[in-house]
Structure 1
Amino acid sequence: MREKLLTVPEPPLAVATLSEAELLARIFPRLASDSRHAAATLLGPGDDAAIVAAPDGRTVISIDTQVQDQDFRLQWPNGYRTTGFDVGWKAAAQNLSDINAMGATATSMVVSLTLPAVTPVSWVEDLADGLAAGILNLGAEDCSVAGGDLGRGREISVSVAVLGTLSGGKAVLRAGASPGDVLALAGTVGRAAAGLALLESDTGIDSLTAEQRNLVTLQCRPLPPLAAGPLARSGGATAMLDISDGLLRDGTRLARASKVILDLDPQALKDLEEGLEPASDLLGTDPMDWVLSGGEDHGLLATFPPTVQLPPGFTAIGSVQALGDNDNPGIKIAGHTADTGGWDHFAH
């Protein structure tokens, strides 16, 4: 009987085996945009700097960074392996959401990658695919990647700077909410936090139900409501911000900037628990903790005058109140002061 020879799989091609030019040659085609998506990019990757159009005369700009083992793990306690696609999608989502929170429309991005030498080339290609897919599928059809930078380091770090335009009118700031305004939410809260709790749990990824895995996906690939920001601006929003660090923490930021109290409606908060039961039942966690303190859904919190109809996608969750004699700007729930909670990069 002939013995079968065991074959040892080839190790994945690592970035250290390629020059910078060779690695870029694998990335750029994956970020190429068709004519619909590149209108604002007058000169893309290849030169020392990109050239982008600013037809409004004003440019909205934001930057955010994801760092390995700080913002994501390559392998989570429950066994899930973070793909390059996940990191690329999330890099697009969190930065597009910041532009959205100003009521603006994203027009271009530049991306800086720091990579360990052993990083598989396929992981980096996957990241480029996720970045491009996030831009396209989240609805940022006017945005494209205009350029970036590559570097070598001890852990993976992805920094994205995104530019946007207001196309006339004023940006919606955090300062501007007035007593009597309606407090409204677009998107979701708590689901990404539930997904994070599942990733950090000892319940294996393969043992999760479809509903639980969907929550994991929302942590790895958030779905910010990009249509809602410009709609809120044109619909009369008085103040707005992206919920990246939790409803209470980010709501407190808006309240302090506007020097008001945001009073949350308990029933509206209860309604936001919908969809969290598959994770809360498994982990024994109160879903309200995720609703109030969970970040990274990248929904929008906005205030509107009581005389206007809320734009599509927004749901009323409370009201804006004037400061009392002994009040500090912040959050209340049914008139009772709420603890801030939420994510802090340096406290955690």
Structure 2
Amino acid sequence: MSLRPPEPTVRDVGEFGLIAAITEGLGPTASVPVSVGDDCAVLAPTGRLAVSTDAMIEDVHFKRVWSSAHDVGRKAVASAMADVEAMGARPLGLVVSASLPKDLPASWARELTAGIRAEAELCGAQLVGGDITSGDKIGIVCTVFGDLEGRTPTLRCGAVPGQVVAYIGNLGMAEAGLTVLRRGFRSPAAVVNAHRVPAPPYGQGIVASEAGAGAMIDCSDGLVADLRHIAEASGVVIALETDALQVAEPQKTVAAAIGGAEPLDFILRGGDDHALLATFAPGRVPAGWTVIGGVAAADGTPGVLVDGRPWDADGGWTHF
């Protein structure tokens, strides 16, 4: 009988050993003339920079029993970089700060890094630095940078009456996946995978900007909640038509399995898919986007109408 030696932990590898593993193969490029290894990275955008940051905390945004380390790394980057897309910027670079328990297997940390780098490559950005510290739970903070390349940023406050509202990406799939995982199941795979690794429609933020989008937002809190953000910032009413929303078969399957819930609720309330929502002049909606409503003047309080009625139900993600 042979006994395997215990798997090395991050304590065994040490801070600088982890940093060396994380940064292996990274170096300068035309848009990142100074990469890892100095006190700061140096970026060389062609236009103004869009900057955002996003945190993921274990047992709040993910659970290790639900997601692999690779999944967590990809999700951390995707959820942050979707904000860059929503401004109409091109993903350029990111820095990642991680808090890791000392007894975390070093292999988990390496897989986390692989996921971060895989998603960065997928969206066209480069990991340029970060920080590592110890903590009781895993925490990951991604700060991301996007190059506007001479374009005007697309803000939440630019919706005007007469425009249409459209989206591209997934809606409500991650929420259906979270519902499944909370009940101890792992299927349908399509919704579970959508929760584990969201799929922002990379490149479509620029497409929307160049099509003259009035307002745009990353759909992270939920469809109605994020449309409300646009409505309130723009001082308008957004009229959402649910007939235009397509409920996927896996969402119907989950709704039926949990006791006949309304599958449309996954779409209206659920966040974490990181689709893009935007407003356009009629006739200027880019290919691949789906029109789901319109923008009207607000006679009173700005907000969202769902099939002509004010939306007063709970829904949408908040932390507190």
Compute the TM-score of the two structures, normalised by the length of structure 2: 0.95
Gaps of 5+ in 2: none
Contact 2:190–2:250 (8 Å) recurs in 1: no
Residues 223-238 of structure 1 correspond to what in structure 2 (within 5 A)?
223-238=199-214
Deviation at 1:313, TM superposition (A): 2.2
1:25 maps to what in 2? 20
Moved over 6 A (4+): none
Contact 1:273–1:288 (8 Å) recurs in 2: no
Deviation at 1:93, TM superposition (A): 0.5
Residues 327-346 of structure 1 correspond to what in structure 2 (within 5 A)?
327-339=300-312, 341-346=315-320
Q: Identity over the aligned pairs, expressed in percent? A: 37
> CA–CA distance in 1 between the matches of 2:133 and 2:30?
28
Is 1:314 aligned to residue 314 of structure 2? no
The count of residues paired between Structure 1 and Structure 2 equals 318
SS of 1:237 mapped into structure 2:
coil
> CA–CA distance in 2 between the matches of 1:223 and 1:63?
18
SS of 1:111 mapped into structure 2:
strand
SS of 2:279 mapped into structure 1:
strand
Is 1:12 aligned to residue 12 of structure 2? no
> CA–CA distance in 1 between the matches of 2:45 and 2:198?
28
Residues 112-151 of structure 1 correspond to what in structure 2 (within 5 A)?
112-137=97-122, 140-141=123-124, 143-151=125-133
Alignment counterpart, residue 83 of structure 1, candidates 53, 65, 68: 68
Q: Deviations over 1:7-61 (max 9, x none)?
A: 444332100112211111111127x37x8xx4321111111111111221x1110
Deviation at 1:268, TM superposition (A): 0.8
Gaps of 5+ in 1: none
Alignment counterpart, residue 49 of structure 2, candidates 59, 63, 81: 59
1:41 maps to what in 2? 32
**What letter matches 1:18 in structure 2?**
V
Alignment counterpart, residue 299 of structure 1, candidates 256, 275, 292: 275
Contact 1:228–1:312 (8 Å) recurs in 2: no
2:230 maps to what in 1? 254
Contact 2:46–2:150 (8 Å) recurs in 1: no
> CA–CA distance in 2 between the matches of 1:39 and 1:201?
48
**What letter matches 1:184 in structure 2?**
A
Is 1:283 aligned to residue 258 of structure 2? yes
SS of 1:154 mapped into structure 2:
coil
> CA–CA distance in 1 between the matches of 2:219 and 2:83?
9
RMSD: 1.5
SS of 1:183 mapped into structure 2:
strand
Compute the TM-score of the two structures, normalised by the length of structure 1: 0.88
Deviation at 1:274, TM superposition (A): 4.7
Deviation at 1:262, TM superposition (A): 0.6
Alignment counterpart, residue 176 of structure 1, candidates 152, 158, 161: 158
> CA–CA distance in 2 between the matches of 1:61 and 1:93?
14
